[in-house]
Amino acid sequence: ETGVTQTPRHLVMGMTNKKSLKCEQHLGHNAMYWYKQSAKKPLELMFVYSLEERVENNSVPSRFSPECPNSSHLFLHLHTLQPEDSALYLCASSQSWRGSEQYFGPGTRLTVT
Amino acid sequence: QKEVEQNSGPLSVPEGAIASLNCTYSDRGSQSFFWYRQYSGKSPELIMFIYSNGDKEDGRFTAQLNKASQYVSLLIRDSQPSDSATYLCAVNPGNTPLVFGKGTRLSVIA
């Protein structure tokens, strides 16, 4: 595997389900990110981790819960989501969280029914 | 509030023409600048970066930076239908993650 990988690529879940998104980076980077991108909307930064420590989170509802067990892996735990949470969820990594170029995974297309 | 502004488009250009995509930023201390290409339904892909005033060329792409005017642009020469995508400008303010613009949608008409 190379670059940034994300699983699953597609996910359909009901509003009462609990699921997790997984991201893995193979670039030796120290920072990882979660973004949300709704249809035809700009990127929304959700969470930033540097060396497994959360350094920024931007007013994200508590139904989204991130976890970073090590610098190569990042999870986004989802529970009791709403239909408006349907979007493309993108993971990215960079060498440093302070302004380094970011490399994105392919994304998880989430549909909440 | 650090801001990056882009015209949302769509910018339509005929095949073979030069496409010019523009971006302005608010933080005068910004240090480096990036262009990403995002095809519909796909993730952003880094295509160019520039750190110094002036031009930087890579194949058909040229990035231009003018720090005094707080302006960065991307020129695509000999535009192809495969260049049709949304182009995101991203700015490094120095002490925060990259700040992304909302993107400009480019349509190259065959």
Question: Hey, are the CB atoms on A33 and B45 less than 8 Å from each other?
Answer: no
User: For A85-98, what is the mean pLDDT?
Assistant: 96
Model confidence over A25-37: pLDDT tens digits?
999 999 999 999 9
Q: At A46, which amino acid appears?
A: M
CA distances from B80 to A7, A45, A100 (A): 32, 31, 30
Mean pLDDT of the A54-76 span = 92
- More reliable by pLDDT, A57 or A70: A70
Q: Which pairs from B59-65 meet CB under 8 Å and 24+ separation?
A: B61/B35, B63/B33, B63/B35, B65/B33
- pLDDT value of position A56: 77
Residues 6+ apart with CB under 8 A from A28: none
Distance CA B90, CA B44 (A): 11
Q: Pick from B45, B29, B24: which is nearest to B102 by CA?
A: B24
Tell me how close the Cα of A21 comes to any Cα of chain B, in angstroms.
16
pLDDT at B95: 85
Residue A63's CB is within 10 A of a number of other CB atoms, namely 14
Q: What is the pLDDT of residue A1?
A: 66
pLDDT of residue B63: 98
Cis peptide before A69 (omega within 30 of 0): no
Q: What is the pLDDT, as a whole number, of residue A2?
A: 84
Q: What is the mean pLDDT of residues A48-57?
A: 89
For chain B, list residues with pLDDT below 70: none
The average confidence (pLDDT) of chain A is 94
Interchain pair B101, A90: CB under 8 A: no
Comparison of pLDDT for B94 and A79, the residue scoring more: A79
Question: If contacts are CB pairs under 8 Å, which of residues 55-84 in chain A contact chain B?
Answer: 56
Chain A residues within an 8 Å CB radius of B98: 94, 99-102
pLDDT for A41: 86
- At A96, the amino acid letter reads S
Task: Provide the pLDDT for residue B57.
Answer: 97
Q: What is the chain B residue with the closest CA to A38?
A: B41
Q: Answer whether B80 touches A (CB < 8 Å).
A: no
Cβ atoms A86, A61 nearer than 8 A: no
Query: If you count them, how many residues does chain A have?
Result: 113
Of B34, B43, B92, which has the smallest distance from its Cβ to A90's Cβ? B43
